[in-house]
Structure 1
Amino acid sequence: MGLGATMLSGMPLVGKALPLDAPWYTVDAAIKKQLADVALNAARSKGATYTDVRIGRYLNQFIITREDKVENVVNTESYGMGIRVIANGSWGFAATDKLDNDSIAHTAALAVAIAKENSRLLSEPVQLAPQKGYGEVSWKTPIEKNAFEVPIKEKVDLLLNVNAAAMKGGADYMNSYLFLVNEQKYFASSDGSYIDQDIHRIWPTFTITKIDKATGKFETRNALSAPVGMGYEYLLPRPEDKIHGISTLYKKRYDMVEDAAQGAKQVAEKMAAKSVEPGKYDLILDPSHLWLTIHESVGHPTELDRVLGYEANFAGTSFLTLDKWESRNFQFGSKHVNIKADKTQPGSLGAVGYDDEGVGTQEWDLIKDGVLVNYQAIRDQAHIINLPASQGCCYAQSWSDVQFQRMANVSLQPGKQTLSPQDMIKNVEKGIYIIGDGSFSIDQQRYNFQFAGQLFYEIKQGKIVGALKDVAYQANTREFWNSCSAVADKNDYRLGGSFFDGKGQPMQASAVSHGSSTARFDKVNVINTARKIG
């Protein structure tokens, strides 16, 4: 899955450190076009039949605090060019951070030489789906307030206020984090595309810890935020963004201070909560929890490279083999399960105008009325499943990494009938309402799994009767999604996601969102994670 919030303070930073007061800027697209043309011409002269060039400037900002202290503030920048070619029917790739004409031409020649050497091992040549060039175009994340231009002091003050709210509420320890990403990406290809993109992402998060002084036992509560493809406006909440229920949740914007204050109370509730009795329960799963189950049990197994076995050595394979898709009647889930892949969704982490192969992004069905209907595929995979074109889901984590198939935003579609989470709860005799993501385990084919969460509430005869702890549910993917008996309507739809979804060798991380409304799953096996087996 990638790195959790608790590990991020030790996360290696990519690129060189920048001064904390370094101004934010973008490089002129005309300059990048000149550099790209040097690479395109050099590769063609050496025998490349196809070339694409990615010029990337990647900015990151990390602010990490603990209680009343600032632990770290870091700005980083990585800037360079990656050149991918086809020569003699094979791929070749090379990259450089020296953006003068001679270095670019040398790197293009190296990419062609690598492709020609690779061709000696080919069993069949690369088959690229056709892609018409777009000419000179651009795309920007539709942000309202650039988080990189917000003074660091303002962001630090926010995090310290968040910590103070939690400590005032009774927390013993409090860590808060703010992570910002700006990908300035330029793509050019021998197909005739020159694409300039400015992509922004933000992730505010925290971990609250409370300790029982008598026993030494402790409980934690992580933030109920989602990482998003937005600007600093995400941290400027509006009244209409709050969802009031058993826990205050948030739609398009997020109140970090309020979540911390509420989290301090809830972590105390977890200390005193009843330990769950194992058994079969109807589960009401909030989007802040369900996104991770979607990611692991739907997003990954519908990646075509996993289906084909390309990821077997590292990330595993998929139980959704081609014969299941070819049958056109494989019942992945119940009739309530409609799941789309979408690289265009505003506010999502994966939202871009064009992928890293210069393909315009789109949305498409993966699961329709419970039936598997498609996968996620890129240009050199499209022919395998009889697609006329790529679905636009190719990505590289930096200019120095080769692009490959990565997960689009994969989301459960809202129910069509008017239905709220409160309506669902009223019809549950014996159930558990789960909020927030937690630990998980899933096998190499993405079939048998176990998921926990942040907050658990017992439901009896249509009412929430109290908090629970030590909860995790177990199922296999097909059994679980076929147990889906209801999905709330679009008014409850929210995004969750991951900044650091790992895949590939060498491993690359990508950011991806998963949306849903609250959903009900019937008669799911729940275990007690604190009890020993046997």
Structure 2
Amino acid sequence: MKRRQFLQMAGMGMGAGLLAQIPLVGHAVSLDRPWYTIDVARKKELADVALNAARSKGATYTDVRIGRYLNQFIITREDKVENIANTESYGIGIRVIANGSWGFAATDKMDRDSIARTAALAVSIAKENARLLTEPVQLAPQKGYGEVSWKTPIEINAFDVPVKEKAELLLSVNDAALKGGASYVGSNLFLVNEQKYFASSEGSYIDQDIHRIWPYFDVTKVDAATGKFEVRESLGAPRGMGYEYLVPRESDKIKGITTLYRDRYDILEDARQSARQVEEKLKAKSVEPGKYDLVLDPTNLWLTIHESVGHPTELDRVMGYEANFAGTSFLTLDKWKSGNFNFGSPIVNLVADKLQPGSLGAVGYDDEGVATQQWDLIKNGKLVNYQTTRDQAHIIGLDHSQGCSYSQSWSDVQFQRMPNVSLQPGTAKLSPADIIKNVERGIFIAGRGSFSIDQQRYNFQFGGQLFYEIRNGQITGMLKDVAYQSNTQEFWNSCKAIADKSDYRLGGSFFDGKGQPMQSSAVSHGASTARFNGVNVINTARKI
């Protein structure tokens, strides 16, 4: 098989193909440009120009978002750096309510006159929109916070680390996998810095400096005799941290079927393990379809949480206001109003939050200037709440927003986006090994794989990276061609055991799409290893 043919067949679009799908907002800047922030006093001055101009034109409410967004992506294959993208975007977005309706306008011309004209345009748009209005916007009350700030608590600013050093780390990852027997390997590092300033006519002036990092690789082994191949992707999660995430600590090590880290990531060790495991995947036996008890590692379970819990509890999907990227939601208001909808087993508790340190969704304030918080979505298996913004809160009788507003840039209007949504650990002392001991016929699954889910976030299918057969409480060997099928309610009701907090880890999505025009956000999902009984498993290699 020729290299080009292989890459096309494997669908490994983590090079230029992936870069084309990433929202690279802004213009290219020099790689050696030093990291800096805009003076806060200057941002307040410009925000006041917008606030005053909007009020003078008839706005009854105004919020202003001044944003400077930095992206750096380094993409490698084997012994070469294939691509480096370094972008910057700086501008202002102005959102207003006039005559009871929303209006929005944005500009990257950061002088006083241009900002005043943009504010006036936003008001004009609101007044035109009001001609078609059937019900005026209802904003949940929100006090002004005055001048406040929040920063991601990083130890090492990844943008200060020389590009050469970061590229050399990725190439050493590739080298470790190749020396372990891999045929092909690619690695990437994605960095984001959002410098966001929010001001509102209610008296908030909020300055935030937000950092995110995602190291990733994929390793492929080809059987020269048969031409067959297997792939193993990295098991490290994207995080809301600085470069210290890639400086592993022994105290964070979790030993199991594969060695992982809780709050740091040893990407070199993961690459070495992946080379051994991808060789094992080539020799693994194909799974026999049927019902199995599944033991799902957090590196796999986070994606199922994201798709079957995170998205269907978004209130705009519930109301039918949003249907892009896999539809609306089966969790309709009547189920919530009943107060007794059986979402999952009694041990299932799923919490929404934007507070957890190190998570992708952690910020001090959302893009409507609401201080972030934590709340229950599923409590003891029952549906108890949704995710809301200020103009949605009244729909479910809340007198406050839950802080779920986000925009991917200053030039896009903010709307409802998912907070971190996490499965809470079990309360009794229980390790993954303890869970496995009680399984007679099952499969342990680690890593995210392909998935599909229907237009109401109900019926689904998920794969993974690593699959191990469990027989009579023991891991007996590796399997392949595994995917599990269920529906959301059936799946979460089959949850019979959850490991304790010592096993709790974060997974997450660095580029989660929603809306039209599409916007991308980042969100984490935490979990401990969990057991699900009697789940249907199919063989993905067999033709139906």
The TM-score bracket by the shorter chain reads over 0.9
The question of 1:156 aligning with 2:167 is answered yes
- Aligned with 1:437: secondary structure? coil
Larger CA deviation: 293-302 vs 245-254: 245-254
Q: Is the 8 A contact 1:284 1:431 kept in 2?
A: yes
Q: Which residue of 2 aligns with 1:532?
A: 543
- Aligned with 2:465: secondary structure? strand
The question of 1:231 aligning with 2:233 is answered no
Q: Which residue of 2 aligns with 1:122?
A: 133
Q: Which residue of 2 aligns with 1:325?
A: 336
1:111 to 106, 112, 122: 122
1:377 to 381, 388, 400: 388
Shift of 1:315: 3.8
After TM superposition, list the pairs within 5 Å mapping 1:110-509 onto structure 2. 110-312=121-323, 315-509=326-520
Q: Is the 8 A contact 1:307 1:321 kept in 2?
A: yes
Q: Which residue of 1 aligns with 2:21?
A: 11
Deviations 1:118-169 (CA, angstroms, capped at 9, x unpaired): 0011110000000000000000000001000011111111101100000000
Q: Which amino acid aligns with 2:18?
A: L
Larger CA deviation: 12-21 vs 450-459: 12-21
| Whole-angstrom CA distance in 2 between matches of 1:359 and 1:9 | 33
Shift of 1:9: 3.6
Q: Which amino acid aligns with 2:147?
A: E
- Aligned with 2:97: secondary structure? strand
Shift of 1:4: 7.7
Shift of 1:336: 1.1
Q: Which residue of 1 aligns with 2:110?
A: 99
Deviations 1:47-100 (CA, angstroms, capped at 9, x unpaired): 000000000000000111110111112210010000000000000000000010
- Aligned with 1:316: secondary structure? coil
Deviations 1:343-374 (CA, angstroms, capped at 9, x unpaired): 01100000000000000000000000000000
Q: Which residue of 1 aligns with 2:8?
A: none
- Aligned with 1:8: secondary structure? helix
Distance 1:149 1:298, change over 3 A: same
Shift of 1:245: 1.2
The question of 1:79 aligning with 2:64 is answered no
Shift of 1:11: 3.4
Larger CA deviation: 370-379 vs 4-13: 4-13
Q: Which residue of 1 aligns with 2:37?
A: 26
1:57 to 55, 68, 83: 68
- Aligned with 2:235: secondary structure? coil
Q: Gaps spanning 5+ residues in structure 1: where?
A: none
Q: Which amino acid aligns with 2:407?
A: A
| Whole-angstrom CA distance in 1 between matches of 2:198 and 2:83 | 34
| Whole-angstrom CA distance in 1 between matches of 2:96 and 2:294 | 50
Displaced runs of 4 or more, over 3 A: 3-7, 9-12
- Aligned with 1:473: secondary structure? strand
- Aligned with 1:453: secondary structure? coil
Q: Is the 8 A contact 1:315 1:504 kept in 2?
A: no
Q: Is the 8 A contact 2:325 2:513 kept in 1?
A: no
| Whole-angstrom CA distance in 2 between matches of 1:413 and 1:324 | 22
The question of 1:67 aligning with 2:66 is answered no
| Whole-angstrom CA distance in 2 between matches of 1:125 and 1:346 | 37
| Whole-angstrom CA distance in 2 between matches of 1:58 and 1:175 | 26
Q: Which amino acid aligns with 1:295?
A: H
Q: Which amino acid aligns with 1:214?
A: A
Deviations 1:309-345 (CA, angstroms, capped at 9, x unpaired): 0113554110000000000000100011000000011
| Whole-angstrom CA distance in 2 between matches of 1:40 and 1:452 | 50
Deviations 1:202-236 (CA, angstroms, capped at 9, x unpaired): 00000101111122211100000100000000000
Q: Which amino acid aligns with 2:101?
A: S
Larger CA deviation: 5-14 vs 371-380: 5-14
TM-score normalised by structure 2 residue count: 0.97
- Aligned with 2:169: secondary structure? helix
| Whole-angstrom CA distance in 2 between matches of 1:237 and 1:181 | 21
Distance 1:5 1:69, change over 3 A: closer
The number of residues matched between the two structures is 531
The question of 1:515 aligning with 2:519 is answered no
Q: Is the 8 A contact 2:324 2:515 kept in 1?
A: no
Distance 1:532 1:517, change over 3 A: same
Q: Is the 8 A contact 2:66 2:92 kept in 1?
A: yes
Q: Which amino acid aligns with 1:96?
A: T
Deviations 1:250-291 (CA, angstroms, capped at 9, x unpaired): 210000011001000000000000000000000000000000
| Whole-angstrom CA distance in 2 between matches of 1:424 and 1:298 | 23
Deviations 1:373-425 (CA, angstroms, capped at 9, x unpaired): 00000100000000010000100000000000000000000000000000000
